[in-house]
Amino acid sequence: QVQLVESGGGLVQAGGSLRLSCVASGSIFSIKAMAWDRQAPGKQRELVALITSGGRTNYADYVKGRFTISSDNAKNTAYLQMNSLKPDDTAVYYCNADLSRYSGGSYRSYWGQGTQVTVSS
């Protein structure tokens, strides 16, 4: 019922830029926050950036100053603008949303299928 679809991944050279998009749809009553996580093979999934419905943002230190998260609340959409990409940024990037499905419902996290970002040296 709840679907998150990411797009915008691809192959770029170090120093390049990429913009990821995430659209949440389905049975959604309210979204508290949307975030981008990433996971490289053999590594733990980690938070990259987060934005609340009120516009407050949070970033991992290693992307601060390079990545920017934004959102369009009316469209249940989040974006991640990635600049000055490094090979270490190579990972599958997942969108997640902390949302409730109905009035009075509990909030829980949902994830998209991920989009691959590969940064070549």
pLDDT in tens, 57-99: 999 999 999 999 999 989 999 999 999 999 999 999 999 999 9
Lookup result for tokens 């990409």: 85
- Euclidean distance between CA atoms 5 and 54, whole angstroms: 22
Reported confidence tier of residue 121, pLDDT bands at 50, 70, 90 = very high
- Euclidean distance between CA atoms 70 and 49, whole angstroms: 10
Contact, 63 vs 48, CB < 8 A? yes
The CA radius of gyration of the chain, in Å to the nearest whole number, is 14
Q: What are phi and psi of 95, to 5 degrees?
A: -90, 140
Residues constituting the chain = 121
pLDDT in tens, 1-15: 899 999 999 999 999
